[in-house]
Structure 1
Amino acid sequence: MSQGLQCWDEYGRLIVDVGDYNMRYIGTVNLNVGPGANAWSVPVQGMRPNGWLAVLRTSLYWNDYYCIPGNNAFTVQYLPVSSPYTATLTFDIYKYDV
């Protein structure tokens, strides 16, 4: 059964409509990062470039990393120009129908 969410503002304008997608939690992946690299490939069986998300769980590093889904893996890219601090990052993996 399809589900979704719609919200309207006080003027009756539709401002949120997420009825088009069914998100499914796939699992959690940890990645150890540290100085010397700015990108990492993280294997996730079955992942595809479309219809998948890898979301960094902690808000401490949200502005420092981004994820690009690929085939059977996703790439994590460190954005600042310096090397990252040593840390363990936790990513939640989701799949949605497109």
Structure 2
Amino acid sequence: MPTGRKGRRQQPRQDWTPLNMERLASLPRTIERRGVNYQVAHLSGSTKSYTCPGCHHEIAPGTPHIVAWPSDDGFAPFGLETGPAERRHWHTRCWD
């Protein structure tokens, strides 16, 4: 009688989680607007409120919105050197 592992069903791994596409959408990407390159990330929400520079109205906590900052044209990845100081939170409609 064979005693090999062939034919045995393998139990699914308990530590596996499906890929969250929403997290991939939040990765910054470079977009050019009015001759300036910006790093832009889509956020599904935040824990605090921000003022949109486009309409000067509040972006309420938990509201999906866009964060954008000028990039250094490849000098620093993701605009890390200017990002924290120049980062702005926009309503999606105001950014578009």
TM-score, normalising length: structure 1: 0.23
**Higher relative contact order structure (alpha carbons within 8 Å, sequence separation ≥ 6):** 1
* Bigger helix fraction: 2
TM superposition score normalised by structure 2: 0.24
Greater CA radius of gyration, 1 or 2?
A: 2
More strand, by proportion: 1
